[in-house]
Copies of this chain bind each other. A is one copy, B any other.
C-alpha cells in the first residue's frame, strides 16, 4: 500500500494535551488518512513517531516547544487536505469545554468567585506549574499539583512555603487524592470510612482504596504527596504534615502509608513518626524489607492487597493487639535502665532478640543474632543482656534449665541485685519432659528478688511467657497464678511479653523530643465540604462537578505566551 506523509510545525502556541489528543484522533478519522501524530517536539516524542513510521525528515528540526502535526495519508492529497483542516478541528474542540458562564483568567478572580475554595488543582505543563502553585499558596489555598516535569528545587521550595503557612501541597506529579470524600485527579469512587491514607504513589493509592472498598471498608481522605516526597531531598515534607493532620482528626481510625520505593532513611524516620501517634498504622513501602510484621502500632504490609486487608481488619476492631500498660517510668530508680533476659529456650531467646531490635539497638547475649553483641563472659551481663541458659556451655554434666531451675535462680538473684536492672524477662516452658512445677521454684525466687529491689528503693519488673497448654501435665492455670501472685507480668505469647518489656525499657531512655518543623494544617480542611479552583485539564473540573463539588475553571494561558524570560520578569514584578 502506498502512503504519503504531510507535516506541519507550529511554534509559540499553547494547547493543552487533551486538545492534542483530540486533534490527533480527529485527523486520524478523516477520509483517506491512515495514521496521525500530534505531539510536542521532544526527543522522546520524535522517537515514538519514528516507531510508528511517522517521523518525516522535516520533523527532525522541531524542538520541545514546537507543536508537531504529522498525517500519513493514502496519498499526498488526502494528507494535505487533513493538515488543512487543523484550525477548523481546533475550533470545534474549543466549543466543547466546561459548563461555566464566565471563565476567569486569573486565580485571584477565581478565588473571589468561589471564596470557600480551599484547594487549587493544577495540571498545566510542568515548566509553568510551580509558578501557579506559588500563587495558590500566596492566596492561602492548598494545592493539588498534578503536573509532572516540575524540578526538584521547585518542589522543595514550594513545600517549605506550604509548611510555613500550614497548607498542604500534594505533588508535583500527584495523580490522585480523595479529600472529604471527593476525588481529585484520577480517583475512584469509594465508600467513606475511617481508614485514611497518605501515599507517595498514585495508582498504589488508587489500588489500595479500591481494594479497601471491595473488602467492605471505607476511605474519606487519601492524600497524595507526589512520588519524590519520600526521597532524602524532600524528606517527606508532605507526608509528615498529612500524618500529623490525620492523627488529630477524630474521624480517622487507621492511617495507611503507601510509597513507591522510598529512601531507607526517610522510611525509617516515618516509621518512628508513626510509632509516636495514637492510632494503628499500616505501612506499605515497596521494596522496604522488614524483619518483623508489627512494631507497636505499626503494621507492615507486603502488597496493596495485604495493605487493604490489614487496614480493614484494624478498622473493624476496637483496639490494636492489646498489651497491658507498662508501669510508669517514675516507679523506677534513675539507675535502672537495662533489660535482662534469662531464657531456658534457645529459639525463644532468638525470637526475643529479633523482636527487641524494634526497641533496643544493642542487646548482648551469649547467643546473639549479630556477633558484635556477643557477651565477653556469659556469666556477666552488660547493658541490655539476654542469656540462653540452654546453650551447650551450660549443659555439660548439668540438666537443661527447663528441668532444673537452679542455675536460673542463681542468675536471677545476681541480675536483681544489679542496680541497673529494670526488667527481667524470662520463659517458663511447660510440657512433658519439663520440670513438673517450675513456678513453685521460680515464683518464690522472683518474689524475693522484687522485695529485695524494693528494700533498695528500686522497682523491679519481671515479665514471663508461660509456654504451655491447658492439657500439659503441669496445670497451666496454676503455674500462671503462682507467678502472678509473685508479681510477675505473665502472658502466653512470647511476642507479647517481649514487646511489653521492650516498650517499657525504651520508655526509661531519655525521650528524644521531636521538633515539628511545620505549622499544623487546620483540621477544617478535612471537615468542610471540598471546593476548588481548577487550572489546567478541564476534565478535572467535570469530575468535580460530577461529584457535586463546587469548582471554578480558570481559563489559563501560559504567561507571556510561554516566553520564560518574560515570565520571570513578570514573577518578579508580582512579588514586589
Q: A residues engaging B (CB < 8 A)?
A: 17-18, 20-21, 24, 39-40, 42, 44-45, 47-48, 51-52, 64, 67, 125-126, 148-149, 173, 175-176, 183, 185-191, 199, 201-207, 210-211, 213-214, 227, 258, 260-261, 286-294, 301-306, 344-351, 354-355, 369, 378-379, 390, 392-400, 402-404, 406-407, 410, 414, 427, 429-434, 465, 467-469, 471-473, 492-496, 539-540, 543, 546-547
Asked whether B429 lies within 8 Å of A18 as measured between CB atoms, the reply is no
In the complex, A430→B261 CA distance in Å?
Answer: 24
What are some 26 contacts across the A-B interface (CB < 8 A)? A17-B398, A21-B404, A126-B396, A149-B392, A176-B433, A186-B400, A186-B434, A187-B432, A189-B431, A191-B471, A201-B350, A202-B346, A202-B390, A203-B345, A206-B429, A207-B351, A211-B492, A211-B493, A260-B346, A286-B351, A287-B350, A293-B302, A304-B495, A305-B493, A306-B495, A432-B546
Bound complex: CA of A203 vs CA of B392, how far in Å?
15
Q: A48-B379, A291-B289, A303-B355 are in contact. Are A492 and B210 (CB under 8 A)?
A: yes
Contact partners of A213 in chain B: CB under 8 A: 469, 471
In the complex, are the beta carbons of B286 and A292 less than 8 A apart? no
| Residues of chain B contacted by A354 (CB below 8 angstroms) | 286-287
Whether the pair B201, A347 counts as a contact (CB closer than 8 A) is yes
Q: Which residues of chain B are near A20, meaning CB under 8 Å?
A: 397-399
Docked CA distance A414–B260 (Å): 28
Question: Is there an interface contact between A398 and B540, defined as CB atoms closer than 8 Å?
Answer: no
Apart from A188-B469, A293-B302, 4 more pairs, CB < 8 Å: A18-B403, A67-B397, A188-B471, A305-B493
Q: How many Å from the CB of A465 to the closest CB on chain B?
A: 8
Which of A18, A39, A188, A189 has the largest count of B CB atoms less than 10 A from its CB? A188
A392 touches B207 (CB 8 A): no
**Inter-subunit contact A392/B148 (CB<8 Å):** yes
- Residues B214 and A469 in contact, CB atoms below 8 Å apart: yes
Q: Which of B301, B349, B469 contacts A189 (CB 8 A)?
A: B469
Smallest CB–CB gap between A365 and chain B, Å?
12
Question: Assuming A348-B203, A398-B17, is B210 touching A469 (CB within 8 A)?
Answer: yes
Chain B contacts for A396, CB-based, 8 A: 40, 42, 44-45, 64, 125-126, 149
Residues of B within 8 A of A540 (CB): 433
List B contacts of A472 (CB < 8 A): 188-189
CA–CA, A486 and B42, complex, Å: 35
A207 x B433 contact (CB < 8 A): no
Closest 5 CB pairs of A and B: A203-B345, A40-B397, A204-B347, A293-B302, A201-B347
Q: How far is the CB of A518 from chain B (nearest CB, A)?
A: 25
Q: A51-B410, A398-B45, A540-B433 are in contact. Are A290 and B289 (CB under 8 A)?
A: yes
Taken together, the copies of this chain in the complex come to 2
Q: How far is the CA of A319 from the CA of B492 in the complex (A)?
A: 30
Q: For residue A498, which residue of chain B has the nearest CB? A: B303
**Also in contact, A203 and B427, with CB within 8 A (given A183-B432, A186-B402):** yes
Quick check: A202 and B345 within 8 Å, CB to CB? yes
Q: Which residues of B contact A431 (CB under 8 A)?
A: 176, 183, 186-189, 206
Q: Which residue of B lies closest to A367 (CB)?
A: B260
A303 CA to B290 CA, complexed, in Å? 12
Q: Which B residues lie within 8 Å of A305 (CB)?
A: 493-496
Tell me the minimal C-beta distance from A189 to chain B in angstroms. Answer: 4
With contacts A306-B293, A406-B21 taken as known, whether A397 is within 8 angstroms of B125 at the C-beta atoms is yes
B residues near A126, Cβ cutoff 8 Å: 396
Distance, CA A361 to CA B381, complexed state (A): 45
Residues of B within 8 A of A190 (CB): 469, 471
CA distance in complex: A495, B308 (Å): 12
Please measure, in the bound complex, the distance between the C-alpha atom of A47 and the C-alpha atom of B304, giving whole angstroms: 55
A201 to chain B, nearest CB (A): 4
**With A429-B203, A467-B206 as contacts: A17 and B186 at CB distance below 8 Å:** no
User: How many angstroms between the C-alpha atoms of A394 and B45 in the bound complex?
Assistant: 7
Q: Which of chain B's residues have a CB closer than 8 A to the CB of A207?
A: 345, 347-348, 351, 465, 467, 494
- Residue in chain B with minimal CB distance to A465: B207
**B45→A433 contact, CB < 8 A:** no
| Shortest Cβ gap from A267 to chain B (Å) | 13
Min CB distance A466 to B, Å, is 9
Question: Would you give the shortest CB distance from A312 to chain B, in whole angstroms?
Answer: 14
- Considering residues A288, A397, A431, A492, which has the most beta carbons from chain B within 10 angstroms of its beta carbon? A397
- Note all chain B residues with C-beta closer than 8 A to A468: 188, 210
A188 to B431, CA, bound (A): 4
**How close is A151's CB to chain B, nearest CB, in angstroms?**
11
Cα–Cα distance between A175 and B304 once the two chains are bound (Å): 40
Question: Judging by beta carbons under 8 Å apart, are A394 and B44 in contact?
Answer: yes
Contact of A399 among B17, B45, B350, B465 (CB under 8 A): B17
A395 cross-chain contacts in B, Cβ below 8 A: 148-149
Residues from chain B with a CB closer than 8 A to the CB of A355 are: 303
Beta-carbon contact of A546 and B473 below 8 Å? yes
The closest CB in chain B to the CB of A259 belongs to: B347
